[in-house]
Amino acid sequence: MSYASDNELFFDPAVHRRVLASEIDVPCQRPSFSLPLDRVGIAAKTLWVRLPQGRVPFTAEVTVSLTRHRRGIHMSRIEEEVTRLAGQTFADPAAYAKELCLRVAAAQEARRSEVDLRGLLPVERTGRVSGQRSQDSLVAAARCRFEDGDLTCERQVGVYHITACPCTQVYTEGAIGQGLPGGCPYPSHSQRSLTTLALGSREDVAVGFDDLAAVLGEALHLVHDLLKRPDEAELVLACHQHPQFAEDVVRQVALACGRRFSGVLAPDTTIRIESRSQESIHIHDVVCALSTSLGGICQQMAATASDNAPAVGPAEGER
């Protein structure tokens, strides 16, 4: 048995043209059971997105809604749009996701489309003492949704960091009963954590992945792949000097968001924060999450400032 070579066709091109001209478009047929579907498309697709950093791979899920009158979608039309975008350079993964989302909706004549990208972005960090540069990664995701002419987009960045548990420190302090030499923080168990920050908006905001990474860096003790011994000592001591529960991590990231984006982004900008701690002395992980708005965070910041403001005038019992 022999197979056709790469240059040999089984059918004459004229045969293909004839069949294409007369063939029924099966996806456009009516289904046997007329029921609309929410999401149909492709998943586990590797997309090579051309960014300022170069071509970066992302795992993608691209879907559209399907009316009850159509049996299926044209899967190849999704791949065609991917191919058309292959040569273009985009500012960030979200810009790519937006363009693909709009193109897929038009190609499939769908009222709703979604593009979900997940991958890694390169980042360079510098040791505080050694000055050594570490080649690290940001966990990056972008999700865009187009529905009835309305486009929303969410950017998400995740970083790895280290936390020390405050409970063990407080207990050890009570057991020792005196401060450690040189003001050294009390020992505690520490663990590596992954915290993600997602920001979503209907507007085309001037906030990128670097801005989200900067917010996380303000609130957390980031880890590097390359750390010399002086850098390691500083990082470990810093996380013990300012220990954090997973709950503290999420609240501090929210506070950093409020400080950085208040007056810059709309109050209805959505904020999602999630932290997962790989506990060093437990078999389980610890998770903590928050879904809110920038306006909600700013309101709580104002309320906290009011609660902590010094009293003015005599106390209630002194009047």
Domains and CATH numbers, the chain: 25-119 (3.10.270.10), 149-308 (3.10.270.10)
pLDDT of residue 301: 95
Region of 278 on the Ramachandran plot (φ > 0 left; ψ -120 to 50 alpha; else beta): beta
Phi-psi category of residue 302: left, alpha or beta, with phi > 0 → left and psi -120 to 50 → alpha: alpha
The segments of the chain whose pLDDT lies below 50 read 1, 313-319
Contacts (Cβ under 8 Å, ≥6 apart) of 124 = 133, 134, 135, 136
Q: What is the pTM of this model?
A: 0.88
In 3-state terms, what secondary structure has residue 216? helix
Quote the pLDDT of residue 28: 86
DSSP structure string for 127-183 = -TTT--EEEEEEEEEEEEEEETTEEEEEEEEEEEEEEE-HHHHHHHHHHH-SPPGGG
pLDDT of residue 311: 53
Q: Which pLDDT score is estimated for 294?
A: 96
pLDDT tens digit sequence for 120-179: 999 999 999 999 999 999 999 999 999 999 999 999 999 999 999 999 999 988 998 877
CB atoms within 10 A of CB 86: 11
pLDDT value of position 21: 85
Hey, is 21 helix, strand or coil?
helix
Q: What is the pLDDT of residue 316?
A: 42
Rg value, the chain, Cα: 27
Please choose, from the candidates 287, 296, 221, the residue with its C-alpha nearest in 3D space to the C-alpha of residue 258: 296
Q: Residues 225-239: pLDDT tens digits?
A: 999 999 999 999 999
| pLDDT for position 6 | 63
How confident is the model at residue 317, as a pLDDT?
38
